[in-house]
């Protein structure tokens, strides 16, 4: 099912997922691995930031839950990414309703629970704007 999405590759760089939910994190990894993305997951935004800094910003996409534990919230990490690496696509998710107006320009927002099709459409819109996704 997931591997049927076309039109998102090639990706150059990691897809970084920040999610503290022990069920949702591996599910997101499976979904994104289904499009042949190299997915790196973290339970905190702090760990994700260290990883990306250590890898000199080698990242195509950040998907960060707003309410993760640690020093940084997902929205703060998203703002840092957009300031330092404006070319990196960023999605913020939350089980709590966030005002999308409070997010930095260019950051997409997905309210939980989201459908796989919503996630994939948002990923596609950010990575290849204007290119329609196809499912076979």
What CATH number is given to the structural domain containing 50?
A: 3.40.50.2300
CA–CA distance, 84 with 26 (Å, rounded to integer)? 27
CA–CA distance, 126 with 61 (Å, rounded to integer)? 9
Give the pLDDT confidence score for residue 36 in this predicted structure: 83
| CB-side neighbour CA atoms (13 Å) of 125 | 13
Q: Over the chain, what is the mean pLDDT?
A: 88
5 domain-assigned: no
Q: What does the DSSP 8-state code read for residue 35?
A: T
Give the pLDDT confidence score for residue 1 in this predicted structure: 38
Percentage above 90 pLDDT, the chain? 68
Q: What is the pLDDT of residues 2-17, one digit of tens each?
A: 434 555 555 778 999 9
Give the pLDDT confidence score for residue 128 in this predicted structure: 79
Number of separate domains in the chain: 1
Where the chain has pLDDT below 70, the residues are 1-10, 130-136
- The DSSP bridge pattern shows strands 134-135 and 5-6 to be antiparallel
83 domain-assigned: yes
Host domain of residue 79: 12-127
132 domain-assigned: no
64 domain-assigned: yes
pTM, 2 dp: 0.89
């Amino acid at each position: 099912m997931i591997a049927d999405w076309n039109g998102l590759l090639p990706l150059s760089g990691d897809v970084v997922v920040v999610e503290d939910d022990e069920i949702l994190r591996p599910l997101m990894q499976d979904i994104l691995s289904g499009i042949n993305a190299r997915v790196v997951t973290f339970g905190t935004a702090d760990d994700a930031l260290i990883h990306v800094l250590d890898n000199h910003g080698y990242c195509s996409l950040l998907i960060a839950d707003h309410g993760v534990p640690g020093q940084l919230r997902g929205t703060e990490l998203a703002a840092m990414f957009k300031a330092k690496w404006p070319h990196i696509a960023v999605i913020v998710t939350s089980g709590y309703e966030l005002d999308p107006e409070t997010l930095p320009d260019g950051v997409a927002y997905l309210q939980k629970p989201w459908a796989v099709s919503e996630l994939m459409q948002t990923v596609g819109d950010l990575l290849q704007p204007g290119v329609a996704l196809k499912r076979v």
